[in-house]
Amino acid sequence: MFSSSSVLVLVALLAQFGAAKPVAEKRWDDVEVKHAWVQLPKGWEYHSAPSPDYMLELRIGLKQDKLDDLIQALYEVSDPIHAKYGQHLSKEQVDALVAPHPDTTAAVNEWLEHHDIDPASCHSRSSAGEWLTLHVPVSKAEEMLDTTYGVYYHPKSDEYVVRTTSYSLPRELHSHINVITPTTYFSTMRSMKATSFVQAPQPKTEVNAASFAENISPLAVPSSCGSTVTPACIAALYNTTGFVPKSTATNKLGIAGYLEEFASDSDLQTFFKRFLTTAEGTTITHVQVNGGENNQNDPGVEANLDVQYGLGVSFPTPLIYYSTGGSPPFTPDSNTPSNTNEPYLNWLDFILNQTTVPQTFSTSYGDDEQTVPLDYATSVCNLFAQLGARGSSIMFSSGDDGVGGGNCETNDGTNRVLFQPNFPASCPFVTTVGGTTKVNPEVAVDFSSGGFSRYFAQPTYQATAVNKFVASLGTKFSGLFNASGRAYPDVAALAEGFQVVVGGGVESVAGTSCSSPTFAGVVALLNDARITAGKAPLGFLNPIFYANATAGFNDIVSGSNPGCGQAGFTAVAGWDAVTGLGTPNFGLLEKLIV
C-alpha cells in the first residue's frame, strides 16, 4: 500500500505535469493590443463579415536587430564632413544590419507553431529575413491576432478591403514584431492621394520647343513660364541649360507609380516632338511590380507627368517606371488569396531585393499621417532608410492640402482641429518637395503641403534651419502643430501649368506631383556630374542640403499654404514650412556638392 505521504507526492507530480501545457499556453494567451483605432478611419464604413475561409496574405515585420547601426551608417555616409561620406552600403551589408536576432526568429517561429503553422511554409521571406509572408484564412488570422476582421467599403473609390480596427499580440512578441499587415492600415490603391490634378482649360499656347530652347539663356525665364511650363522653362529657371549627362551607362532615375497608373510610350514621343525635340525616339523601361500593369491604351495623368518631366529634365539619363499593382477588387464571396494591397511595402520589398538600384527616385503619392498606423509608418520609413544607405536619393511630393485638407479633425476620438501632416512626406529619410508658382520671382503655391510630423522627431540635420523658422512664429498657430517634429518640405519646385501629353492631347497639370519629378530630374543631373567626376552618387540628400548647399537654392520669400480654416505658414527668408530651402539652382549646386 502507498503511504499518505507518497500519495501526496504523486499527486503533486501529476499536477506539475498537468500544468505544463497550460503554462505554455498562457505564454501565448497573455496578449496586449499592438494597434487600435479609437474610431473607424474617416471615409470608410463597415460592410459585412468576411468568409472565415477568405485567404489573407499576412505579412509579419520582425524587429531588425541592428537598426540603430543602419541609421547611424546612413547618416555617416550622407554627412559631407564624415570620413565615410559617400561610402554607401551594399545590399549584403544592409541585410546584415536589418536581419532579426536569432531570439526573435525563434520566438516568432514558436508562436507560429503554437497556431499549427509550420514556419517553413512561409512562402516568401525578404533576403535579410526580417519580413515573412504566409497565407492564412481570416479565421486563423483572427485567432492569431485576437481580433475580428470585417469587410469595409470606401464609397469615394468604390473599393472594398478586409481590415480590422485593432489587433493584439502576445506580450512576449511586442519586442520581436514591429508590424503585421493587413490589419489596421485602411488606405488602398485607389484611396491614396495622387498629388496632381488637371487644371481648368488654359488659353492654348503653341510652343516651338526647338526655337524656344535655342533663344533662351540660363536664368532668363520668359514670363509665359509662369503659367505654361515646359522642359525649356525648367532648364532656364533651374539653370540646367547646357549640361549634358555623360554617365548614362551607370546613372538611372526611377519613378514609383501606383493607383493602376501607366505611362504611355506614344504620349512620351508626342511630348518630345512638341517640347523636347532632341529626345525624340528615347524610350523608358517599364518594370511591373506585384501584378502591376502596363496598359498602353489607358494612360494616366500622374504617370505621364512623372515620366515626361522626370526625363524632360534629366535627358538622356535612363528612366525606369515601376508600375506597382494591388489586389483585384475584393468581392465578399471570394476565396482567392489577396495581397496586402499596401503599396509602399510591395514596392520597397521589390526594390530592396534588387542587387543594383537607381541612384534617384521620385514618388508622388501620400496619405494623411494620422490615417497611417504608427507601427506601419515607422516600418515603411525605416525601409526608406535602407534604400538611402545604399546610395539612392528619394524624393516625395509634399501634398496638395496646405497645412491640412478637409476639416482637419483628429481621429483619436477628441475631434480636435489640428494641422495635418502627410506621410511619407513626414519620414525623415526622404527628401520632400513642396510647390511654387510663377517666375521672376517664384512664389509659394497656395496648396503646397508643409508642416511638422506628429510621428517622427525633428532630425538633427534640420534643427538649426527649422528652429529659426519656429522661433519667428512666436505664438502664432500655438498648439496646432508639433514644433519638435520632423519638418517638411525640404525643398521645392514649380507646381502649376505643366504641359503634359495625355491620350495624344495636352493637359495643363498642377500639384506637387509636378514638383517631385522635376526636382528629382535635377538631382539625377547632379548624380551624373558626381559619377562622371569619379565620385559616389549623393544618396540621402538632406544632411548635405541643410549643411552645405543652402546657397544653391533660390530662396522663396512670399506665398502661404492655407488649410484647416487657418492662413497657413508663410514663405520667408531661409527655410520655411511651405517651400523648404527653396528651388534648385543646378549650376550653383554642382559647384557646392560635386
Q: According to the 3-state scheme, what is the secondary structure of 119-151?
A: HHHCCEECCCCCEEEEEEEHHHHHHHHCCCCEE
Taking CA atoms, 530 is separated from 246, 310, 475, 536, 550, in Å, by 10, 19, 44, 6, 18
Does a structural domain hold residue 231? yes
Judgement on whether residues 286 and 171 belong to the same structural domain of the protein: no
> Can you give the pLDDT at residue 365?
83
Query: Radius of gyration (Cα) for the chain, nearest Å?
Result: 26
Judgement on whether residues 179 and 262 belong to the same structural domain of the protein: no
Cα dihedral 69, 70, 72, 76 in deg (nearest 10) = 130
**From the first residue on, what is the mean pLDDT of each consecutive set of 10 residues in the chain (594 residues)?**
45 45 71 95 91 91 97 98 97 96 96 94 81 93 97 84 95 97 77 52 40 42 94 97 97 87 92 97 92 75 94 98 67 44 78 95 90 92 97 96 92 93 96 97 97 98 98 97 98 97 94 96 98 98 96 98 97 98 98 94
Q: Are 201 and 499 in contact (CB under 8 A)?
A: no
Q: Which domain holds residue 256?
A: 227-330+353-593
Does a structural domain hold residue 476? yes
Does a structural domain hold residue 7? no
Does a structural domain hold residue 89? no
Does a structural domain hold residue 587? yes
What lies within 8 Å, CB to CB, of 421 at 6+ separation is 368, 369, 451, 452, 453, 454, 485, 488
Place of cell 470608410: 44
Judgement on whether residues 409 and 557 belong to the same structural domain of the protein: yes
Residue 527: count of CB within 10 angstroms of its CB: 30
Q: In which element (H, E) is residue 468 found?
A: helix 463-473
User: DSSP letters along 10-66, please?
Assistant: HHHHHHHHHHHHHHHHHHHH-EEEEEE-SSPPTT-EEEEPPPTT-EEEEEEEEPPTT
Specify the pairing of strand 360-363 against strand 253-257: parallel
Q: Which residues pair with 285 in a beta bridge?
A: 320
Judgement on whether residues 181 and 264 belong to the same structural domain of the protein: no
SS3 for 501? Answer: strand
Taking CA atoms, 403 is separated from 308, 421, 446, in Å, by 29, 7, 10
Q: Binding residue per annotation — 531? A: no
Q: Which residues pair with 198 in a beta bridge?
A: 509
Judgement on whether residues 428 and 559 belong to the same structural domain of the protein: yes
Among 186, 214, 244, residue at a domain's last position: 186
Taking CA atoms, 373 is separated from 16, 133, 338, 398, in Å, by 43, 20, 21, 19
Judgement on whether residues 324 and 265 belong to the same structural domain of the protein: yes
Judgement on whether residues 460 and 541 belong to the same structural domain of the protein: yes
Judgement on whether residues 163 and 231 belong to the same structural domain of the protein: no
How far apart are alpha carbons 435 and 449 in whole angstroms? 8
Place of cell 490603391: 189
Judgement on whether residues 158 and 287 belong to the same structural domain of the protein: no
CA 43 to chain centre: 21
Please give the single-letter amino acid code of residue 428.
P
DSSP 8-state code for residue 337: -
Number of C-alpha atoms within 13 angstroms, CB side, residue 540?
31
CATH (domain of 547):
3.40.50.200
Judgement on whether residues 115 and 233 belong to the same structural domain of the protein: no
Judgement on whether residues 165 and 287 belong to the same structural domain of the protein: no
Judgement on whether residues 440 and 498 belong to the same structural domain of the protein: yes
Among 186, 215, 238, residue at a domain's last position: 186
What residues are labeled active site?
302, 306, 513
Q: Binding residue per annotation — 255? A: no
> Can you give the pLDDT at residue 566?
97
Q: Are 430 and 588 in contact (CB under 8 A)?
A: no
Does a structural domain hold residue 522? yes
Q: Binding residue per annotation — 574? A: yes
Longest dimension (CA), the chain: 114
Number of C-alpha atoms within 13 angstroms, CB side, residue 367?
23
Does a structural domain hold residue 90? no
SS3 for 229? Answer: strand
- State the Cα angle at 501 between 348 and 206, rounded to 5°: 145
Does a structural domain hold residue 3? no
Q: In which element (H, E) is residue 319 found?
A: strand 319-324
Among 186, 211, 240, residue at a domain's last position: 186
How far apart are alpha carbons 378 and 295 in whole angstroms? 33
DSSP 8-state code for residue 113: H
> Can you give the pLDDT at residue 159?
80
How far apart are alpha carbons 232 and 313 in whole angstroms? 9
The count of domains in the chain is 2
What lies within 8 Å, CB to CB, of 580 at 6+ separation is 432, 433, 434, 450, 488, 489, 490, 491, 492
Q: Are 550 and 457 in contact (CB under 8 A)?
A: no
How far apart are alpha carbons 303 and 319 in whole angstroms? 13
Cα dihedral 210, 296, 248, 235 in deg (nearest 10) = 30
